[in-house]
Structure 1
């Protein structure tokens, strides 16, 4: 019996969302892509860049897909529907961009990762951080079959092993080596300001960059802030 393809929802029809959509289609997923409004607003974009995907609304994507990738500006996470995403595997690929989100101290708080904020808001979802640190152009250019020389890696952070493994399978099927960065709190090692952010490297090098986070300017800031919090 032919295996039924899994349905993957992507919230965000920008450059990252459409590239992830292309990778998902190539990996054999049924793909639903939603923007921030009606499906008519993104139909041309999706039909042009990911013709095998289905443009839809966020509500429909959340209803029909068990796994949802968030490819939105981080500042929009409060517009998500916790009830619609309840019980779903949610892959957080969002980043804070000052130019888009404006000054948001809550999104750069050294005491917790941005994915912890998202998980606290989506209390009944299973949030895993992935696909945020590698540029959309590298995601487009670099997928390779498992075991092929030069294959690049994608870091994953999450608290629940079952859902980390699910995200790792997605990364693998998209053509990259999954590297576990640690719990969701460790997602801060993958955010803008870290050496991992923007990294388009193989698994061994990615592991080293993750481990060396405390040596970076942002890493030192995080370390000192968390140490001070522990003392207080």
Structure 2
């Protein structure tokens, strides 16, 4: 289980997160909803080790991750797909994917590549293309594929639908549901609440750095506050 406990974090003198508690089990998709500036990306950065929290803890299957560098957290099974995707535009898709697995050695990267191709078949014909020439959807598949090359136990996705068509968003989220069904725990940070809740097991709403509402995805689909704020007044998905 990925466990976030009483996490306080921020930038400079300002706190952004104020005592966040959240857990994600293996094989589970937990959707994190919230407006811009609520603290979702800050939470993702703390989990990945890109931002040191002021207090609180992050553990993965009982192992404390406090003080570990991002590369060490990758070895412990934590992978982040950042909002900006973080691809190396001048490198090929194949090179970007291989970089995702380099911490485990080249042999590991070679062995993992067919799995990524199974999840995102369109990438098979794009391996020699420069990542910077890809469409938004192709870049997102590459970014997620690169994270999967590290063989993660827990995957954190920050706004995977950003800039994508509704059809491509559905394809990406369907793939995330399939990964969870294979045992990966997924934290899904997403603005498209309707689609995200549709593939999630549980969900939480973060407001001003605090968890305001939490529950099963189905329950939150009918929560008046969630409907008003994130589902455009619609009571069903």
Query: What range is the shorter-chain TM-score in?
Result: 0.3 to 0.5
TM-score, normalization: structure 2? Answer: 0.34
TM-score, normalization: structure 1? Answer: 0.34
Relative contact order, higher structure (CA 8 A, sep 6+):
2
Give the number of the structure whose residues are more often helix, by fraction.
1
Give the number of the structure whose residues are more often strand, by fraction.
2
